[in-house]
Amino acid sequence: MTRILRAAVLGTGAVAHLHAEALAAIDGVTAVASADPSEERVRDFNARHGIAAGYGTLEELLAKEAVDVVHICTPPAGHAEQTKAAFDAGAHVIAEKPPALSLAEVDAMQSDAVAADRKLAVVFQQRTGTAAAHIRNLLQSGELGRPLTAVCHTHWYRGPEYFDVPWRGTWETEGGGTTLSHGIHQIDLLAYLLGEWSSVSGQLFRLDRELETEDTSCGVVVFECGAVASVLSTVLAPRESSLIRIDTEHATIELEHLYGHNHASWKLTPARHISAERSASWALPSNEVPSGHDALLSEVYESLLAGADVPPVAADPARAIEIVAALYASAGRGAPVTRGELAAPDFRGSMRAPVTDLRPGR
Ligand SMILES: NC(=O)c1ccc[n+]([C@@H]2O[C@H](COP(=O)([O-])OP(=O)(O)OC[C@H]3O[C@@H](n4cnc5c(N)ncnc54)[C@H](O)[C@@H]3O)[C@@H](O)[C@H]2O)c1
C-alpha cells in the first residue's frame, strides 16, 4: 500500500497558502491540520484548502494529531523553537526562509535534526526550476569556465504600510532588514550556483523607511571559486526586479525576474571564442519546470517518501544566512569578514548591526 504522509501547517498567514496549494498537488501527502493563534485565519485557511483540524498552538496540534511533517510558516523568531518541538514529536520539518534569526539558532536546528533522526528542509524556492538546475550543472561541470564576476541585485518595493505588521522592521523580531528578509533569496540562488563563499564586506543604510533595521544594503561577496559578486538589496525600487548576472571565462549568464523564474527569465550568451556548435549544446532542456514552492515541496516529499536525504534544493539551511550574517558583521566592524571568522561565537548570536541613516534631516 502506498504510504501517505500527514502534514501540518504552522502559521496560516501569507506564505502558508503557497504550501497548502503545493501540498494539494503532491501524491503521497495530505495536509491534516494547521495552527495559528488567529482563530479566524485558521478557519479561513482550512476552509480554503480542505484541511480538517485547526488549533491555536503547535503544542495543542502535536498533542492531538499524529503528523509526519510540520511546515513552519510563522515569523522567523519562532522557527528554531518550533522546529525542536516538531522533531521532539517525531515529525520532519520544512521551514520557511530565513530558517532562523541567528547562526546559533540554525546550528541548533541542524543538531536537533541529527539528534532526533529527522530531516530539516529549508524553503529557498529560487533554487528550483529546470533552468537553475541546468545552469548549475553547466557551472559545476566546468563547461562555462571559471566564474569571474557576478551581480546579485534585489530591487523590491515595500511601502511604509508593509512594516505595520508588528514583527517586521526590528532586529529583535525580524532578525535583520531587507538583506535577511528579501535579498537572501537571490543571495541563496547565487551561492547555490557558485558554491562556497570565502569573505564578505558590506554596509547597511536607512534611506527612506521608518525602521530599526536597514531598507538597503550593499556588499561584496568573494567565492572560493574566485568569483567576486556585487550584492545589493533594497525595498525602495519602484520598478521591481531580481537580477543575477554571472560572467565566466566562456559565457555571460543573466537572470531577470521578480519572485519566480522560468526558462524565459534566463539568458546565456557565449563568449566570442565559443563555437556555435558548443554553445548550442548549452540550450535549456525542453521539459520546463518553473521555480517555486510547488517544485521545491514536490522534490522534498519525493525524498521523504523514499527515506532519502533532503535534496539539494532544500538542503544547506545555513549557506545564505551565513553570507547575510557576514555582511551584517562586516557593517559592524567596517572591514571584510571571512568564513573562518564567522565560526567565532561573537558572530553566531544576534545579527544586530549599525545602519547608516541617510534620510533627510536625520
Ligand atoms: N519563500 C517565500 O517566498 C516567502 C514569502 C513570504 C514570507 N516568507 C517567510 O515565511 C514566514 C512567514 O511569513 P508570512 O509573510 O507568511 O507572515 P504572515 O505575518 O503573513 O503570517 C505569519 C502567521 O504566523 C502566525 N503565527 C505567529 N506566531 C505563531 C505561532 N507561535 N504559532 C503559530 N502561528 C503563529 C501569525 O498569526 C500569522 O498568521 C517568514 O519566515 C517569511 O520570511 C517566505
Residue pLDDT, tens place only, 246-302: 999 999 999 999 999 999 999 999 999 999 999 999 999 999 999 999 999 999 999
Which CATH topology does 5-123 take? Rossmann fold (3.40.50)
CB 126 near ligand 1, within 6 Å: no
CA-CA distance, 160 to 144, in Å (whole number)? 43
CATH number for the domain formed by residue range(s) 129-288+320-357: 3.30.360.10
CB 178 near ligand 1, within 6 Å: no
Measured CA to CA in angstroms, residue 296 lies from 34, 177, 237 at distances of: 20, 25, 28
Nearest to 204 by CA among 230, 182, 232, 174: 232
CB 8 near ligand 1, within 6 Å: no
Strands 216-223 and 197-206: antiparallel
Task: Please check whether residue 261 is in contact with residue 291, taking contact to mean a CB–CB distance below 8 angstroms.
Answer: yes
Atom of ligand 1 nearest to the CA of 38: 37
Kindly give the distance from the C-alpha atom of residue 177 to the centroid of ligand 1, in angstroms, as a whole number: 16
Domain with CATH 3.40.50.720 in the chain: 5-123
pLDDT above 60 for 1: no
Domain with CATH 3.30.360.10 in the chain: 129-288+320-357
Atom of ligand 1 nearest to the CA of 41: 39
Task: Calculate the average pLDDT of the chain.
Answer: 97
* CA pseudo-torsion sign 161, 162, 165, 171: negative
Kindly give the distance from the C-alpha atom of residue 39 to the centroid of ligand 1, in angstroms, as a whole number: 15
CB 97 near ligand 1, within 6 Å: yes
Percent of the chain, pLDDT > 70? 99
- The confidence band for 13, taking pLDDT boundaries of 50, 70 and 90, is very high
Kindly give the distance from the C-alpha atom of residue 150 to the centroid of ligand 1, in angstroms, as a whole number: 31
Span 56-69, mean pLDDT? 98
Give the burial class of 177: count Cβ atoms within 10 A of its Cβ; 0-12 exposed, 13-18 middle, 19 or more buried: buried
The order of strands in the sheet holding 53-55 is: 53-55, 29-35, 5-10, 69-72, 92-96, 120-123
Kindly give the distance from the C-alpha atom of residue 38 to the centroid of ligand 1, in angstroms, as a whole number: 12
